[in-house]
């Protein structure tokens, strides 16, 4: 059983800004229902590129709901440039921490935010760039390398906590460990 902070419990039991938004300026989606976690983030953006409102719909665990709720509170009133600087660790810190095994929930929030802002700016993102390493969760080598660098991950177990990769059948764990070692050697 995981130990949740009071803030995580509060955002899970009393989530803020839940539900679809009418006429959003930007939408970011990440995750997959088949993987067990999915997030759809809606943003209203004014003419000065400032986020004026945010809401979400998510399917997932308590940490997914809390992370999504926290994210919507964090982005209201800030510029798109500042929003792009938010990291998954910022979301976890806002919640007074997340269990290591649940950090992927904050990663989903950061990913949905980036996708929403990039879509608003007309920046096309290749869906899932790189080669798929984890077939169960559709995680690519480039996503693993990015997570290792951004979060200073040290093992395949760390990658599973952040991206869920390797958390299904486990057939990819050896390849994930190799990617982690290669990424750390180049850092």
Active-site residue flag, 134: no
The torsion angles phi and psi of 23, rounded to 5 degrees, stand at 50, 55
61 is catalytic: no
Contact 83, 51 (CB under 8 A): yes
Q: Which SS3 state, helix, strand or coil, does residue 100 take?
A: helix
Q: How many CA atoms lie within 13 A of 171 on its CB side?
A: 9
State the DSSP H helix or E strand holding residue 32, giving kind and residue range, or none if neither.
strand 26-32
> Of the listed 61, 105, 169, 172, which one is catalytic?
105
Helix (H, G, I), strand (E, B) or coil at 108: helix
Please tell me the total number of residues recorded for the chain in this structure: 187
CA atoms of 91 and 151, how far apart (whole Å): 13
Query: From residue 163, how far is each of 5, 166, 187 by CA, in Å?
Result: 21, 9, 20
* Residues annotated catalytic, as ranges: 35, 105
């Amino acid at each position: 059983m995981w130990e949740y902070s009071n803030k995580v419990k509060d955002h899970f039991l009393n989530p803020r800004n839940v539900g679809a938004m009418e006429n959003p300026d930007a939408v970011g989606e990440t995750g997959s229902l088949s993987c067990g976690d999915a997030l759809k983030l809606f943003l209203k953006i004014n003419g000065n590129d400032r986020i004026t409102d945010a809401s979400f719909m998510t399917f997932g665990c308590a940490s997914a709901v809390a992370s999504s709720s926290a994210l919507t509170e964090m982005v209201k009133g800030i510029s798109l440039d500042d929003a792009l600087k938010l990291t998954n660790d910022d979301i976890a810190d806002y919640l007074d921490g997340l269990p290591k095994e649940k950090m992927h929930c904050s990663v989903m929030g950061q990913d949905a935010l980036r996708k929403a802002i990039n879509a608003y700016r007309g920046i096309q993102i290749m869906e899932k760039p790189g080669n798929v390493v984890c077939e169960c969760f559709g995680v690519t080598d480039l996503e693993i390398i990015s997570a290792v660098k951004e979060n200073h991950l040290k093992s395949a177990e760390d990658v599973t906590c952040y991206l869920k990769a390797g958390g299904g059948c486990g057939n990819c764990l050896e390849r994930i460990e190799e990617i982690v070692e290669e990424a750390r050697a180049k850092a």
